[in-house]
Amino acid sequence: MKAIALLVSLLALTVACSSTAEAGHSRGNSTCNDDAVHYQNMIVNGKRSDAPLYNKSKETRDLAIEEKVQGNWEKCEELMEEALRMIRKPYPSE
């Protein structure tokens, strides 16, 4: 019985160690989807609304989404990263 428990534990450990973790945001993967999700998670419920560049960040996010709709994934990622930079702590002033 202990041998079976040990084998099951080893199998679970092997599966856990071989799986990749997804934090929801990867840079430079040419999709922009994860960047948009990451941005949304950062501003939900008014979070980061105290950032000096919060409104500019939202405008940049909107431009990024326009690029995404047009199929310009790289430009979308570039703009989304800039939008994220504006609301990351410590807050930038420009």
Q: What is the pLDDT of residue 23?
A: 46
* Model confidence pLDDT, tens digit, residues 44-77: 999 999 999 999 999 999 999 999 999 999 999 9
Q: What is the pLDDT of residue 4?
A: 74
Query: In angstroms, rounded to a whole number, what is the distance separating the alpha carbons of residues 84 and 92?
Result: 11
pTM summary value: 0.69
- Measured between alpha carbons, how far apart are the two ends of the chain, in Å? 64
Q: 53, 89 in Cβ contact below 8 A?
A: no
Residue 94 — pLDDT band, cuts 50, 70, 90?
Answer: confident
Q: 57, 3 in Cβ contact below 8 A?
A: no
Q: Mean pLDDT for the chain? A: 81
Poorest-pLDDT segment among 20-24, 28-32, 36-40, 59-63: 20-24
